[in-house]
């Protein structure tokens, strides 16, 4: 959704990314970094003086002793597949979790009890305030993780990768994970398509686990199917939950009987009150209009304005 960008790039290496950022600085171009795009809403009228940079092609998965180095563009759902290969349950929560690892680290992506901040040990980043643009690293203990919160949201840093500790587990086979990665790379431009994402990761997981698919993996498949997460284009949960209220935003919108409300080509999902879906060539304006309608109704009934989780990129 949104308009066509004048400048768009998807670097494949950190070297290419650094070169691109230097080019933006020299040409006085603004830039914005994103991952697979599953949590962003682009403006219908993009900034013509801005480079839109997706890190979804930054794809590196290196098996080291006791740890994996995983680059920012690797989809989080790849960790669940790698976990199955070493028979670890620690990464199951990432099964079908849309989005790249870089964004997951930035937003502390979660699924029920599992969150990205709990499985990484160190994050590698470029500090845009440092003129030399060298890769730096920070241990997870200093990343200030909370509910959908991290230190990265307050810093001019670009996450390029992370270490994941797999101490005590058998060594992952580098060729095995690379063959999955090669099949993923064949998706080319479809990496941002939620339906393709679902087909790929659900299929790979079935191939690895059937007929003994772990219960939690089955539950994830059922939850996503029940909420029809991958049937229409959406940005996942539109608002962050407000835990002071004691009920999720989805439940509040449901309570207000707003599911199914439309605006242009957009609609509040009939299946989940915190999901705004693109049913018929919606514009970003249509989605933002629904955001306003929900915010007003929640403010009137519950006295607070919900905070969007989706990042709106101008
Ligand atoms: N639980 C669920 O069902 C769902 C979860 N999600 C979650 O939403 C997120 C979306 O992932 P994805 O689609 O890849 O992300 P997006 O492309 O939607 O990027 C989201 C934002 O993350 C920041 N970001 C992304 N990559 C980097 C990076 N390498 N370094 C610094 N900041 C970065 C940027 O913020 P800024 O512009 O402010 O710098 C960007 O605007 C993930 O956390 C995903 O798990 C999404 C949908 C459903
Ligand atoms: C989808 C995202 O993340 C999701 C994540 O997948 C799920 C599972 O862990 O938990 C959060 O959703 P959520 O709080 O809406 O979780 P759900 O389990 O779907 O709903 C919570 C409760 O509200 C009820 N509910 C939800 C929607 C609705 O229309 N009606 C309703 O009654 C559900 O039945 C459930 O009892 C994350 N969202 C946020 C904002 O925290 C995302 O980040 O984009």
72: confidence class by pLDDT, cuts 50, 70, 90 = very high
DSSP character at residue 10? -
Beta bridge partners of 51: 7, 31
Does any domain span residue 287?
yes
Does any domain span residue 277?
yes
Does any domain span residue 202?
yes
pLDDT at res. 163: 98
Does any domain span residue 306?
yes
* Residue range 71-83: mean pLDDT, rounded: 98
Domain containing 246 equals 233-313
Q: Which ligand 1 atom is at minimum distance from the Cα of 75?
A: 14
Q: Are β-strands 262-263 and 233-237 bridged in parallel, bridged antiparallel, or unpaired?
A: unpaired
Per-residue pLDDT of 170-180, as tens digits, reads 999 999 999 99
Question: Is there an atom of ligand 2 within 6 Å of 112 CB?
Answer: yes
Residue whose Cα lies nearest atom 41 of ligand 1: it is 34
Identify whether 134 is a catalytic site residue: no
Looking at the fold, whether 22 and 149 belong to one and the same domain comes out as: no
Question: Is there an atom of ligand 2 within 6 Å of 240 CB?
Answer: yes
In the predicted structure, residue 192 carries a pLDDT above the cut 80: yes
Per-residue pLDDT of 21-42, as tens digits, reads 999 999 999 999 999 999 999 9
* Residue 272: CATH number of its domain: 3.90.78.10
The active-site residue, picked from 237, 248, 263, 269, is: 237
Burial class (CB in 10 A: 0-12, 13-18, 19+), 217: buried
Looking at the fold, whether 66 and 199 belong to one and the same domain comes out as: yes
Residue whose Cα lies nearest atom 33 of ligand 1: it is 103
Q: Cβ neighbours of residue 131 under 8 Å, at least 6 residues apart? A: none
Identify whether 176 is a catalytic site residue: no
Looking at the fold, whether 80 and 210 belong to one and the same domain comes out as: yes
pLDDT at res. 176: 97
Looking at the fold, whether 218 and 186 belong to one and the same domain comes out as: yes
Question: Is there an atom of ligand 1 within 6 Å of 99 CB?
Answer: yes
Looking at the fold, whether 122 and 191 belong to one and the same domain comes out as: yes
Which ipTM score applies to this complex? 0.87
Percent over 90 (pLDDT), the chain = 95
Looking at the fold, whether 115 and 201 belong to one and the same domain comes out as: yes
**Cis status of the peptide bond prior to 211, with omega within 30 of 0:** yes
Can you list the alpha helix ranges (DSSP code H) found in the chain?
A: 14-26, 77-85, 101-107, 174-185, 194-209, 215-226, 249-255, 284-302
* Residue 115: CATH number of its domain: 3.30.465.10
Does any domain span residue 49?
yes
Cα–Cα nearest to 155, from 126, 181, 134, 184: 126
Does any domain span residue 1?
no
* Residue range 142-146: mean pLDDT, rounded: 98
Tally of domains in the chain: 3
Question: Is there an atom of ligand 2 within 6 Å of 251 CB?
Answer: yes
Looking at the fold, whether 17 and 139 belong to one and the same domain comes out as: no
Q: Answer for the pair 173, 71: CB distance below 8 angstroms, yes or no.
A: no
Looking at the fold, whether 41 and 68 belong to one and the same domain comes out as: no
């Amino acid at each position: 959704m949104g308009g066509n960008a004048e400048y768009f790039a998807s670097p494949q290496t950190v070297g290419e990314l650094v070169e691109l950022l230097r080019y933006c600085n020299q040409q006085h171009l603004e830039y914005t970094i994103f991952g697979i795009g599953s949590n962003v809403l682009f403006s219908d009228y993009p900034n013509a003086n801005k480079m839109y940079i997706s890190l979804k092609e930054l794809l590196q998965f290196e098996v080291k002793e006791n740890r994996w180095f995983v680059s920012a563009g690797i989809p989080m759902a790849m960790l669940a597949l790698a976990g199955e290969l070493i028979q670890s349950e620690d990464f199951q929560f990432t099964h079908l979790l849309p989005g790249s690892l870089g964004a997951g680290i930035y937003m502390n992506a979660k699924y029920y009890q599992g969150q990205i901040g709990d499985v990484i040990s160190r994050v590698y980043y470029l500090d845009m305030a440092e003129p030399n643009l060298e890769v730096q690293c920070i241990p997870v203990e200093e990343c200030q993780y909370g509910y959908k919160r991290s230190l990265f949201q307050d810093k001019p840093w670009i996450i390029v990768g992370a270490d994941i500790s797999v101490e005590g587990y058998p060594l992952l086979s580098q060729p095995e994970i690379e063959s999955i990665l090669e099949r993923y790379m064949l998706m080319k431009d479809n990496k941002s398509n939620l339906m393709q994402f679902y087909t790929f990761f659900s299929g790979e997981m079935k191939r690895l686990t059937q007929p003994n698919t772990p219960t939690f993996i089955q539950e994830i498949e059922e939850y996503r199917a029940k909420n029809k997460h991958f049937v229409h284009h959406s940005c996942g949960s539109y608002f962050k939950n407000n835990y002071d209220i004691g009920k999720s935003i989805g439940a509040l919108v449901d309570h207000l009987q707003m599911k199914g409300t439309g605006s242009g080509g957009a609609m509040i999902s009939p299946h989940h009150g915190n999901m705004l879906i693109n049913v018929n060539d919606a514009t970003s304006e249509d989605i933002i209009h629904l955001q306003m309608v929900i915010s007003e109704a929640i403010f009137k009934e519950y006295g607070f304005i919900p905070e969007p989780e989706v990042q709106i990129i101008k």
